[in-house]
Amino acid sequence: MSDLAALQTRLGYSFHDAALLRLALTHPSVAHEQGAPLQHNQRLEFLGDAVLQLALTRELYEKFPDFNEGPLTKARAKLVNRRTLAIHGRALGLGEHLILSRGEEINGGRDRSSALADAYEALVGAIFMDGGYDVARAFILHEFGAAFGSLDVIPILENPKGELQELLQARSPEAPHYHVVSTTGPDHDRVFECTVHHAGAELARGAGKSKKAAESEAALAALNKLRAESCPPADHASPKVMPG
């Protein structure tokens, strides 16, 4: 196994107990291959998943006070999905340090996304066990701050119409409704303009290459408007929203 000093430099953290780091990098295939009880990283992966969830949940909760449970849950899910965790694992070079069975090595386990995502979660668990929650949280926020603009932009709203309906129905049982107000351009390049209404009032407008796209843009504009109106009149700026 390669020297772990370079990895710890990349992590920005030096382990007091190097055995925890080695355990985080030990793939379950090693135990399966030897056919004997052997510790591997699945327990640390379980722990690291919980630490990731807690640290990112708190950050989202504090940075985006105007968003309710639904959008925050979706944002967190995007931050900790398996593909994203594997990207973080690759960026840290975890693959070259994994302890694998011969079979897993031959079959490309060092670059397998599932193995990298699992090792990344296990690494977070190991940092938590070695240095405590504050150290693990600092590591997590450093890692995810770089990837998500320090979480200044909340990566949600794949379904603005659904989000708008959820927001409005918390206030009134009436659902929003949409109208196409204009269609312009030649047949092969139409542009639709839609309005979205609620309780007899127009909330916003949106345009797009299809009726569905225009409705989504109108819903997104309405969400931004409603959330801006709900912000307290202080220097606190509304969180930006980036369509998923």
Q: pLDDT digits over 49-65, tens only?
A: 999 999 999 988 888 77
Q: pLDDT digits over 183-236, tens only?
A: 988 887 888 999 999 988 999 998 888 888 889 888 888 887 887 776 554 443
Last residue of a domain, one of 114, 133, 152: 152
CA distances from 150 to 67, 157, 196, 228 (A): 17, 19, 33, 21
CA distances from 24 to 75, 100, 193 (A): 26, 12, 53
- Residue 237 in domain: no
Do 24 and 88 lie in a common domain?
A: yes
Domain that holds residue 127: 5-152
Last residue of a domain, one of 152, 182, 207: 152
| DSSP state letter for 158 | S
State the catalytic residues: 49, 121
Q: How far is 175 from 142, CA to CA, in rounded Å?
A: 41
Last residue of a domain, one of 94, 117, 152: 152
Do 141 and 23 lie in a common domain?
A: yes
> What is the domain count for the chain?
2
- Residue 240 in domain: no
Residue 148 pLDDT grade (very low, low, confident, very high; cuts 50, 70, 90): low
Do 126 and 193 lie in a common domain?
A: no
Cβ atoms of residues 151 and 92 within 8 Å? no
Do 223 and 114 lie in a common domain?
A: no
CB-count exposure of residue 78 (10 Å: 0-12, 13-18, 19+): middle
pLDDT, mean of residues 6-35 = 89
Amino acid at 150: S
Q: What is the DSSP string of 114-137?
A: HHHHHHHHHHHHHHHHHH-HHHHH
| DSSP state letter for 99 | B
Name the packing angle between helices 42-63 and 113-131 (round to 10°).
80
Residue 177 pairs in a beta bridge with: 197
CATH number for the domain harbouring residue 37? 1.10.1520.10
Q: How far is 21 from 3, CA to CA, in rounded Å?
A: 12
Residue 241 pLDDT grade (very low, low, confident, very high; cuts 50, 70, 90): very low
Do 143 and 184 lie in a common domain?
A: no
- Residue 78 in domain: yes
CATH number for the domain harbouring residue 189? 3.30.160.20
- Could you tell me the sign of the dihedral formed by the alpha carbons of 96, 100, 103, 108, in that order? negative
Do 22 and 77 lie in a common domain?
A: yes
Residue 130 has pLDDT above 90, yes or no: yes
Do 30 and 144 lie in a common domain?
A: yes
Do 122 and 170 lie in a common domain?
A: no
The count of C-alpha atoms lying within 13 angstroms of the C-alpha of 237, restricted to the half-sphere facing its C-beta, is 5
